[in-house]
Every structure is written in structure tokens, then in C-alpha cells.
Amino acid sequence: MPAYHSIFLQDTDVRLIANFPLLPLRTRTRGPAYTLPSPTPPIPPHESPDPDSESYDALDEILSLYRANTFFRNFEIKGPADRLLIYGILCVGELLGKVPKVGGGREGEKALMNAALDQFAIPGDAAFPLNQAFEAPRDRQDAETLRQYISQVRQELAIRLVARLYAGNSGTPSKWWLSFTKRKFMGKAL
């Protein structure tokens, strides 16, 4: 059975930096991404809109495919949107590793936001784990725009992951998400 690929592969009018797409996001976090509208009617923060909705973005797809795709050690890249999917899955794996096992949702939110804001490598940096699949940005301005976009993606993923981890206001993180903390997608980690 092959891994699940991005539904945004058919989007051809997406801005690329090197071969990393800058897809639109449904976010309130500042950054270079085009902002998608909020879904109508409003949905709970721990749910994603319907994939056919104009509010469905790549981050919803990353969170919905994370658990299924972590079982795969190989992933065939079919287009730029798959590169964002790979990066997002690796980022979610990193964020799940930072979730405190004890403490309430507030401590978890703080830990995930701090992890999302930590220094991170971008394609082309020596510390980036997937340089063989990603191209380096052309110049310094492209590198800075890519860093801002990836920072925006990481922050929004952390916000949405907290909503899913602590759904129902139980104060303890969901065991259905934490059971995937030890799994490494493609055998890699950020």
C-alpha cells in the first residue's frame, strides 16, 4: 500500500522557493502565506473543514495524514506539495516529542509553542535532514522568506495540534496522538 500524497499536487499557480511551495494557509499567525477564509459555519478548533471546502489547507491535510503516513519508511515525492507534507509530518513528530506527559493543557500549549519557535534548519542548511529531496534557496532574500513561511507553518501546526491533543478540556493529552511520538516518518527527524 503506498503512502498518502497531498491533494494540493494539482495546484499549479503556487509560488515556489527552490522546490518548496508557499501554499495558502488558514491562519492568524503573521507571515508570507496568503490567508484563506475561516470556514462557515464555524467549526470547533479540534476539527478540520471538509477537504472540498475553500478553507481546507495543507496544515489540515498534514494533521489528518500524520498518523497514517508515519508508518511508511519510503515516500515518493510527486510534486512540491508533497515536500510541504513531508516537512509538516516531520514537524508534527518533533512537536509531539515535546508534549509534557503530566500537566494540563496550558503547559502543553506553552511547550509546543516554544518548540515551534525554536531555531530550525531550512533546506540548504547543513543541519536540514532532507537536503537530498529539497533544493536550497537561490539567494538570501528567498532564504529569509522561506524561513518566515516555515516559521508560520510551525506556529500554526502547534496551535492546531494543541487543540487536537487537549480536545474536550480533559487536561491530559490524547493517548491516540501520543502513541505516535516514537515513530519516525521515513526514519528521519527534524
Question: Each residue of 132-180: pLDDT tens digit?
Answer: 889 999 999 999 999 999 999 999 999 999 888 887 767 788 888 888 8
| Cβ atoms 43, 113 nearer than 8 A | no
Task: Give the CA distances from residue 18 to residues 29, 40, 139, 166, 187, in Å, rounded to whole numbers and listed in that order.
Answer: 23, 35, 10, 36, 24
Q: Given this model, what pLDDT does residue 1 score?
A: 59
- Average model confidence (pLDDT) across the chain: 87
Q: Which amino acid is at 149?
A: Y
What SS3 state is found at 160?
Answer: helix
* pLDDT single digits (tens) 92-121: 999 998 888 767 778 888 998 999 999 999
| Cβ atoms 97, 181 nearer than 8 A | yes
Q: Given this model, what pLDDT does residue 12 score?
A: 78
> What phi and psi values does residue 35 have, to the nearest 5 degrees?
-95, 125
Q: Given this model, what pLDDT does residue 187 score?
A: 67
Q: Looking at residues 49-72, what average pLDDT do you find?
A: 87
Q: Given this model, what pLDDT does residue 107 score?
A: 86
Q: Which residues, 6 or more positions from 72, have their beta carbon under 8 angstroms from its beta carbon?
A: 3, 185, 186
